[in-house]
Amino acid sequence: MEKQMIFFDIDGTLLNHEKRLPESTKIAINRLKELGHELAIATGRAPFMFKDLREELGIHTYVSFNGQYVVHNGKPVYQNPLDQKELHLLTEYAVGRRNPIIYESDKQLHANMESHPYIDAGIGSLQIAEEPIYDPFYFHDHEVYQSLLFCTADEEEEYRKHFKKFEFVRWHEFSVDVLPAGSSKAKGIEALMHHLNLSMDQVFAFGDGLNDIEMLSFVKNSIAMGNAEEVVKKAAKYVTNSVDEDGILKGLQLVGLLRRVSGVIHLK
């Protein structure tokens, strides 16, 4: 079979809601590698937040920050930071509304408030070891590829009205990703495929979140997880089982990348 490029979201796709990697998913990933397919991660997370997962799966190509920082085999090939002046204006506006912001680099999180219950809830849900560093002026002299704005859904609309240079994508009850306007995982995937000179016909993608909608709409062979919201499922070509019901394995079988004979997984 011709080599394919397969992208996997992390939270709710590779990892279940307890942030664990199902055994069937790990088996499926290893089978794909044996077949010679190229595997990649497509996530809203910063690179340092999924280093252990990359090492466990042996995947060193990824689209991070929802498309803003793309790496192929450990080497950055595309970077698209937030506009610094606009980020300054956003910060001033958010401070006036008591909405905290985290500035994300590829190595660390930097918060403009020392503590806030919304930050505790949002970052706590990711179950990462690193705590945000209090550094309200970090963005003044560093490139920021994505920010996390902590606000409710009702408050979010005001930010959309005032900051047209940014995209706001909700990932948590109390937080949205802040990205350059027009950016998405899809743009990051497109940049990587252009760099590799590969056809989009060779691309598959798995996802479950609202920040996966553009990716699932863009990629011809897209698969939504069974635990995804309906709006996400509608964006995909296929729908597989939930992450805890062998969703990755079943999805790969559904699209013909893996097959099962007499109850045993076989390479195609």
> Catalytic residue positions?
9
Q: Position of tokens 């097959």?
A: 259
Listed residue (35, 27, 26) closest to 5, CA to CA: 35
* Angstrom distance (rounded) from CA 247 to CA 13: 8
The dihedral over CA atoms of 204, 219, 23, 253, expressed in degrees to the nearest 10, equals -50
Q: Are 218 and 248 within 8 A, CB to CB? A: no
Q: Is 186 in contact with 80 (CB distance < 8 Å)? A: no
Q: For residue 202, give the nearest of 160, 240, 257, 243 by alpha carbon.
A: 257
User: What single DSSP character describes residue 14?
Assistant: T
CA atoms within 13 A on the CB side of 40: 28
Residues linked to residue 206 through DSSP beta bridges, in sequence order: 8, 223
State the sign of the Cα–Cα–Cα–Cα dihedral 184, 130, 171, 96: negative
